[in-house]
Amino acid sequence: MTKQFWLGLVAGIVICGVVGGLFGVSMVGKKATVPPSEFEARFVNYLKTIRIPEAPAPSTPIEVSDENLFEGGERYNRHCAACHDLEGDADSDFAKAFNPPVADLTSEEVQRYSDGQLKRIVDSGIRFTGMPGWKGALDETTQWKIVYYMRALADSEKAERLEAGLKARGKWEMEAPGGDHHQGEGEEHERAHPEPEHHHESGHEH
């Protein structure tokens, strides 16, 4: 290899190090209420695209059937919609309060990911973005069904049909993330562990 090659390689490494260092320093003390610059957003989105690895394909193929999409939609609404919205477009005031912003799942940037990359994101999350990893909370099959549902959200006809179906099932509602609740558990807990009664003397505030 020529001397010019090695000089170019070293120069490239130094430049990348300087740029990366400046970018890192610029992030220190950043407030979540300050929107990222266009460069920062483009740079981070580019890194996410090239750095997120593929998750292994499911050991048992999962059919992209209507039933599996409905199940994926039910779990999406339970675990994901609080941030990404029911329609997946992250168009709520809550979603817009995040910086970096909550991803619009219907966008070209997100839909450009492969199914394996989306599965990896659902499973492991993305550090520094507020996106949690659901490994251990959602099984592999459920995660894949959510991925297929996310794909369907970008297709307006499929999204409308799935919305209608979920509404018919009474599942078109947003829940707190991770809210795997079962009816009756709260009542049973209250009966088993009643709250102590508090008595206040009249005329005194606590």
Question: What percent of the chain clears pLDDT 70, i.e. is strictly above it?
Answer: 64
Token output for 201: 């003397």
Interatomic CA distance for residues 92 and 83, integer angstroms: 8
pLDDT (tens digit, 9 = 90+) per residue, 120-166? 999 999 887 889 999 999 999 999 999 999 999 999 999 999 999 99
Q: Is the CB of residue 141 less than 8 Å from the CB of residue 58?
A: yes
In sequence order, the β-bridge partners of residue 126 are: 131
Residue 158: predicted pLDDT: 97
Which single residue is written with the structure tokens 């450009």?
Answer: 112
Contacts of 185 (CB under 8 A, 6+ apart): none
How many angstroms separate the Cα of 24 from the Cα of each of 15, 32, 38, 123? Answer: 14, 16, 16, 26
Q: If you average pLDDT over every residue of the chain, what do you get?
A: 78
Residue 3: predicted pLDDT: 64
Residue ranges of the alpha helices (H) in 65-139? 66-79, 81-84, 93-96, 108-111, 115-124
Which carries the bigger pLDDT value, residue 24 or residue 85?
A: 85
Q: Is the CB of residue 83 less than 8 Å from the CB of residue 95?
A: yes
First-residue to last-residue Cα distance in the chain = 79
Residue 185: predicted pLDDT: 37
pTM: 0.67
How many angstroms separate the Cα of 12 from the Cα of each of 6, 8, 19, 48? Answer: 10, 6, 11, 21
How many Cα atoms sit within 13 Å of 84 on the Cβ side?
26
Query: Residue 115: is its pLDDT beyond 80?
Result: yes
Interatomic CA distance for residues 77 and 87, integer angstroms: 9
13-29: average pLDDT: 53
Q: What DSSP line would sit under 39-68, residue for residue?
A: HHHHHHHHHHHHHPPPPPPPSS-----HHH
Which carries the bigger pLDDT value, residue 96 or residue 122?
A: 122
Token output for 21: 């260092």
Instruction: Assign 203 a pLDDT band (cuts: 50, 70, 90).
Output: very low
- What single DSSP character describes residue 126? B
Query: Residue 28: is its pLDDT beyond 80?
Result: no
Instruction: Assign 204 a pLDDT band (cuts: 50, 70, 90).
Output: very low
Question: What percent of the chain clears pLDDT 90, i.e. is strictly above it?
Answer: 47
Give SS3 for 151.
helix
Which carries the bigger pLDDT value, residue 173 or residue 37?
A: 173
Query: Residue 51: is its pLDDT beyond 90?
Result: no
Residue 17: predicted pLDDT: 54
Q: What domains does the chain contain, in order, with CATH numbers? A: 36-52+63-178 (1.10.760.10)
Residue 183: predicted pLDDT: 37
Query: Residue 73: is its pLDDT beyond 90?
Result: yes
